Amino acid sequence: MKPVSANSRILLSCTVAAVLAACSSAPRDEKSTLTRPDSDRIAAVQAIRAANAGENSALQVNPLRDPAVEGFVAQAAHAEKLGQFDDAFVAMSKARKLAPEAPDLLQSEAEIEFLRGNTEQAEKLAYESFKKGPQVGTLCVQNWQTIVEARKIFNDPDYRAVAEGKREQCKVKRPVRL
């Protein structure tokens, strides 16, 4: 058997390293595929809130609330305006502790989570809000628009179409009065 030269060993080592490098793949950053840049997330939340603009639904739900809850909601809105989404989340969490079953607070928290880049959690909260809410009217429209925006990020056109259909079912028109 012939001895292997030093140059041959180096060449063999480089070849093996190149083959192994080609076979391996970089770890996929799943979170990066499920988030948008801040400007896109803000635009998505604006679309969520505008989804019911001009909606003349037959059903509007306006809960009577503890003033402390309203104070935390106002703090959350103020922090959001300043772009302090984590502070908005903290304030909304305090409001939700006082009124954990309130569907409108669930939806507000979903929107804040969306702004924070937590798209999966935003979608879950929006659906929970839908289940606890009136399932028709403006809140329902916002719930399903949140899911539509999430499905855009998840690149899921099939369920996005389902969510768009559900959003339209939320729109209950007032009866015509003569």
pLDDT average, residue stretch 137-157: 94
Comparing 7-21, 58-72, 74-88, 132-146, the range with the smallest average pLDDT is: 7-21
**pLDDT tens digits, one per residue of 110-130:** 999 999 999 999 999 999 999
What pLDDT shows up at residue 147? 96
**pLDDT tens digits, one per residue of 47-94:** 887 887 665 554 555 666 789 999 999 999 999 999 999 999 999 999
Both tokens assigned to 170: 């939320």
CA torsion through residues 101, 99, 168, 147, sign: negative
Distances, alpha carbon 123 to alpha carbons 12, 40, 101, in Å: 52, 16, 17
